[in-house]
Amino acid sequence: MLEKEMKKVIAVVLVMSGFLFCADSFAADGKEKVNLGEIVVTSSGHEESTFDYPGNVTVITSEEIAKSNANFVPDILRREPGIHVFDQTHTGKTAIVDIRGFGDTANRNVLVMVDGRRLNEIDNSGVDWAQIPLESVERIEILRGAGSVLYGDNASAGVINIITKKGAGKPTIGYDYETGSYRLNKHLASFQGGTPFLQYAGLGKFQETDGYRLNGYFQGYDYDGNVTFNPTDYFSFNLSGAYHKDWSGMPAGLSRTDIDRIGRRGSTTPIDWAKTETGYFKISPVIQLTKNNPDSSLSLDFWKRKRRSTSETHWTDWGGGFARDSMQINSIGGTIKYLIGYDFGPVSNELVLGNDLFRASNRILSVDSMGTYLQLEIRKETFGIYASDKLTILENLILNGGCRYEWAKYVFDEQDVSDDYKLREPDEKAVELGIEYKYTPKGALYGRFSRSYRFPATDEFFSRWTTPKLNADIKQQQAETWEVGIKKDTIKYFKTKLNIFIIDVYNEIYLDPSVGGLGSNKNYDHLRRKGAELSINSDVNKYINLYLAYTYINAYFVDGKFSGNRVPMVPANKVSWGIVLTPFDFMDIHFWSDYVGIQRAINDEYATRPKVKDYTVCNIKASFKCKGWETFFGINNIFNEKYSEYVTSSANNGPNVLYYPAPETNYRFGVSCKF
């Protein structure tokens, strides 16, 4: 019944869009000078307007970030259409950002990058969002849908590229202080400046909080900086690096019995902990070959990262005990990208040729109170080549296409008495085709097809706890995505985007908890995700901005033993809306609300556990500026909604569903100054 109603809603939206399309076609003035959108690099590999790419691309600006009450990057992503965020601890460490309904496997299907450097680990741990200081972010580029042609592995659902701040103008230094609920304490010092020859920026940050739940604490340090040299008009050179260290508690999920016994803020694992230390540096020279439009350039990226993590977990059954796991992941990557731009008659052509190399090794050391000792090294290497071409004909018809071939190599070297050594060498290809027609200077229709893939994570191929340890039957994942949409900036003070998509996924890799004590990784047969994404933004006047984002996703199993059931942890409906008031130049008031619909708990593929209830969270933030000073006060979850974003179940839990309660009403207060 709900799906039928949603189809009616989508039909109404399509009719409205068609009406606006016709009306604006008659009303458009081709001579009007228009702003065709923010400049992005994620979608095509070179700078272009979001309006000039046949797909759903969004840019979140630094101004929008400042007006939100976000503490970590996932907080600012919650309001975006097509994106669902679910978190265990709400400290950034455990957040999963899902694009287009991949649920629990999203952290392996959404590629996250910082300035083009990939953050996805080679194992199942996903992205550690706590490593990205939100204060260093200039903008966030979001590509919904596959980006495998340009970026390869992990990009089946979408790509999130985080662009950090670069220095400009006269030298300035700044200081920020924040406090809030759960003993939040944050200090940040920053500097930036630049000349035409040299730009620089950097920060140092300390943050700690007790967290909402017992043993939900977080304490972290960040140091981040970059410098760009421009010795000539045709050559630039960027050098960046960062260091991050944190400690955090690990409160486990709570059953209904646990919540009744110890409350929502309690923990059944009060002494489990984790520690992470990571650092990287990146070198990025760019040679500008021409200054024409379109231009030609040669760019290179080289980066190296080291990440150490240690965790300790305790148990009370079987007489009690503990286990300590330590990992060190060393990663290096490099890309070479050649952009060739030229015009011939009424056609403008931009061709991107490139290749990338990635190599990572994961050294694992595990010990426990029962005397079990294990030492293991896992290595993964990938090498990909790609080509992507974009043709612009008579300024209103855009065609693009591309392909990639990528080779991977896995080495599993268990360095104990068994001396086990295994090797796997899969390969895959990706394809993308797109078309966009600008029916007015401010309106466009587009269609897009892509074929993407995902290689297994190292601990999907290999588990040190199972027999046999190498899962020889696991297959790499393939997906096909079809998408059509309309982008409209055609009515004064009014912008809309609407798109409809279908994603067919084959051999999607998942953890089946019903096999053995810790479960076993398997392949689903065939899944389908179909849905719609709608965004509306209206600058009513210079004092009022309104926005709305609606997402409908029907993610279900087509074949296999789960046929007909919905994919867990994917809400069918999600609505975000807000209003930004600027009554004075020195004052902003931002109110927003997020609604997340009913969904299934993680591991509930058989649809036998209680559904996760829907919830609505409302927030508000007021900011005040005076010269170089700024202060803000924000309240999250104003109406004290009691909900859980992350809910899981397991065959080993009997009938229990485990909840990770989200924070109730909480506040943040901060002040900053720049000199």
Tens-digit pLDDT profile for residues 18-65: 434 443 433 334 334 344 456 666 666 666 777 788 889 999 998 899
Tokens of 364: 């694992």
Q: What is the pLDDT of residue 10?
A: 43
CA dihedral angle for residue 286, residue 292, residue 294, residue 300, rounded to 10 degrees: -10
Q: What mean pLDDT comes out for the span 473-501?
A: 88
Mean pLDDT score of the chain = 87
**Distance between alpha carbon 567 and the CA centroid of its chain, in Å?**
19
pLDDT(74) > 70:
yes
Burial class (CB in 10 A: 0-12, 13-18, 19+), 196: exposed
For residues 465 and 557, the model is more confident at 557
Q: What mean pLDDT comes out for the span 302-315?
A: 93
**Maximum average pLDDT range among 22-31, 66-75, 190-199, 315-324:** 190-199
pTM: 0.91
Q: What is the pLDDT of residue 653?
A: 46
Q: What mean pLDDT comes out for the span 295-321?
A: 87
Q: Which amino acid is at 309?
A: S
**Of 223-227, 310-314, 567-571, 651-655, the least confident:** 651-655
* DSSP E strand stretches across 415-523: 421-424, 427-440, 443-454, 477-491, 494-506, 509-512, 520-523
Q: For the chain, what percent of residues have pLDDT higher than 70?
A: 88
Q: What mean pLDDT comes out for the span 479-506?
A: 89
Neighbouring residues of 218: CB distance < 8 A, sequence distance ≥ 6: 89, 91, 92, 93, 130, 207, 208, 209, 211, 246, 247, 248, 249
Tokens of 409: 């190599």
Task: Give residue-wise pLDDT tens across range 419-460.
Answer: 566 788 999 999 999 999 999 888 899 999 999 999 998 888
Rg (CA), the chain: 25
pLDDT(1) > 60:
no
In sequence order, the β-bridge partners of residue 237 are: 229, 285
| Domains annotated on the chain, with CATH | 2-674 (2.40.170.20)
Q: For residue 3, what pLDDT band results from cuts at 50, 70 and 90?
A: very low
Q: What is the pLDDT of residue 13?
A: 41
Task: Give residue-wise pLDDT tens across range 225-240.
Answer: 999 999 998 899 999 9
Q: For the chain, what percent of residues have pLDDT higher than 90?
A: 67
Task: Give residue-wise pLDDT tens across range 52-63.
Answer: 888 899 999 988
Q: What is the pLDDT of residue 344?
A: 84
Q: Say how far apart CA 250 and CA 267 lie, in whole Å.
A: 9
Please check whether residue 335 is in contact with residue 298, taking contact to mean a CB–CB distance below 8 angstroms.
Answer: no
